[in-house]
Amino acid sequence: MSARTGVAGLPFTHEVALMGPDDARLSPDLPPPAEPALTLRVTLAPLRRDDAATMAALAHDWRALHRAARASVFLDWDWMAAWLAMLPAGLSVHVLRAEDLAGGSLTRHGSPACGLALLVPQVRRRWGLPVCTTWHLHATGDATLDALTIEHNDFLVDRHGADAIRAAMRSHWLDATRGPRELSLPGVAESVLADDVAGLDRREQVRETWSVDLDAVRDTDGGYLRLLSSNLRQQVRRSIKAYEAVGKLRLEPAASVEQALDWLDRLAALHQARWTAKGHPGAFANPGFVAFHQRLIRAMWADGRAMVLALRAGEHEAGYLYSLAGHGRVCFYQGGFDYDGPGQSVRPGYVAHALAVALHAKQGHAVYDFLMGEARYKRSMSTDTGALAWRVLTTRDWPLRLEAGLRALKGLKGVQALKAGAMSALGRSRSRRAPHAD
C-alpha cells in the first residue's frame, strides 16, 4: 500500500491491492474470494464545477459506471447534474473516486472508474460551537437543499467487488481527511458500510419503505386488486365506479416533455392546495425543488426514466403521479389529487396507484416503490417492505465522543422520564379504580 499527500492533504491518492485467487492459495485457512483480484487507486479531490471539460469527463465516467452497476435512479447522472446545478456556487463538492488499475472496469464498461461518489463537507455546529466536519454523501446538510430527499443512495460502485470497493473508498476518506469528522450516508441500504471499523463509531436511524412486487401482480389471477385487503379492494372498486359515472376513467402518460412539465405544474397546484389547507408549506413551495424536477424531467422523460401520469374521468382532472424509473424499479416520487371529485368517499390516490401498478406490471417492470414514509396508503397498498438507513460514521475525536456521551445521557433521561410518567399514570389509574375494588 502506498499513499501520496498533496497540498493541504488534497488531492490524496491511495493504492491498495485486494486479495485475488493467487493470494487465497497462499492462505489456505481463508476461503477463496468470490471476485477476481482488484488493485485500486482511490482519490479525493475538489470538483471544479465551473470547468466544462472536468464536468464532461465526470459525466462520461459516471454514466458508464451507472449502466454497469445497474444502480438506482437516484444515482443516475441526470439526478446528480440537476442537484449540482441547484447548489450555491461557493459550496465545496469533492469527488471520491476509485479506479481499477488492473483494467477490468475499462474492459467492462469503457471507464477505469469502478467507484464514484460526491461528498459535500460542512462544518457542523452545536451550541454555536464547531463540533466536526460532516462529509455528506450526495447531500449537503442544508434542509432546504436536501428537501429532494435522496433514497436508495450509495457510493456508485461496480458490481464486481462492490463491497471491497466501498470499503476502500471509506478507508481512503478516513485517511485523506483530518480533525473531528463524520461521513453522513442518507437513505442507504441497511447493508451499506454497516460493518464495524477500527477508529469509527456509527449511529443511524432506520426507516421502513414500501413497495409492490410486480412479478406477483403478473402471477396473480385477478391482478393487483386480488393482493389487497378486501376492505381496500372494495374502496378502490367503489371509487372506480364513481369516476366511471362521470366519464371514461383512464390513466395516461404525458405525450411530450412539454406536456409532462405542464402536468407537473398541475400536480404541484393540487399538492399545494392540499397541504397548505392543512397548515403545511408543501414540497413545491421551495423554488429550488421545482427547478430541480423541471430539469430532471427535461433530461429523463424521453427514455422513460421520468414519468408523469394523469388520472382522468371524462373531462374531470382527478390527479397526477410523478415517478422515476430505472433498472426495473419505478419509484413513486410525488402526487397531486383533486379530493373534491364525484362523491365524498372517492379515493383518487388509491385509484391512481392501482392503475399505475397495473400499467407498470404490463410494461415489464419489477417493482413499484412507494419509497420511505409512514403514510397509511403506502402500507395498505404494498406487498413488500424494506428499510433504508440514515447512517453516520464518526471518528473518535474527543468533541464527537463528548457529544455521543451527552446524547446517550439525554436518551437515558428520556427513558427515565417515560418510566416515571408510566408509573405516575399507573398510580392514578389504581387510585381511580380503588372505589370499585370493594
Domain of 236: which CATH number?
A: 3.40.630.30
pLDDT of residue 409: 83
Ramachandran angles phi, psi of 282, nearest 5°: 85, 145
My answer on whether 235 and 353 are in the same domain is: yes
My answer on whether 217 and 333 are in the same domain is: yes
| Angle between helix 287-300 and 257-277 (nearest 10) | 150
My answer on whether 300 and 272 are in the same domain is: yes
Task: Tell me the residue range of the domain where 11 lies.
Answer: 2-195
My answer on whether 144 and 245 are in the same domain is: no
As a three-state string, the secondary structure of 59-88 is HHHHHHHHHHHCCCHHHCHHHHHHHHHHCC
Ramachandran angles phi, psi of 134, nearest 5°: -100, 125
Amino acid identity of 371? L
Amino acid identity of 279? G
With residues binned 3-state (H G I as helix, E B as strand, rest as coil), the percentages for the chain, rounded to 5, are 45, 30, 25
My answer on whether 160 and 286 are in the same domain is: no
218 domain-assigned? yes
**Please, which residues have CB within 8 angstroms of residue 350's CB and are 6 or more apart in sequence?**
232, 235, 236, 239, 377, 381
My answer on whether 367 and 302 are in the same domain is: yes
With cell 415517478, the residue in question is 323
Q: For residue 36, give the nearest of 96, 110, 105, 97 by alpha carbon.
A: 105
My answer on whether 153 and 52 are in the same domain is: yes
* 84/82 Cα distance (integer angstroms): 6
pLDDT of residue 414: 54
Enter the pTM of the model: 0.86
247 domain-assigned? yes
Ramachandran angles phi, psi of 323, nearest 5°: -135, 160
My answer on whether 219 and 185 are in the same domain is: no
* 71/117 Cα distance (integer angstroms): 13
My answer on whether 218 and 190 are in the same domain is: no
Amino acid identity of 145? L
My answer on whether 152 and 40 are in the same domain is: yes
* 305/314 Cα distance (integer angstroms): 28
- Burial letters for 222-261: b for 16+ Cβ neighbours within 10 Å, e otherwise? eebbebbeeebbebbebbbebbeebeebebeebeebeebb
- Burial letters for 23-36: b for 16+ Cβ neighbours within 10 Å, e otherwise? eeeeeeeeeebebe
My answer on whether 249 and 330 are in the same domain is: yes
Q: How many structural domains are present in the chain?
A: 2
Cα–Cα distances in angstroms (integers) from residue 284 to residues 243, 270, 308, in the given order: 28, 10, 16
My answer on whether 169 and 234 are in the same domain is: no
The parts of the chain modelled with pLDDT lower than 70 are 1-37, 412-438
pLDDT of residue 28: 35
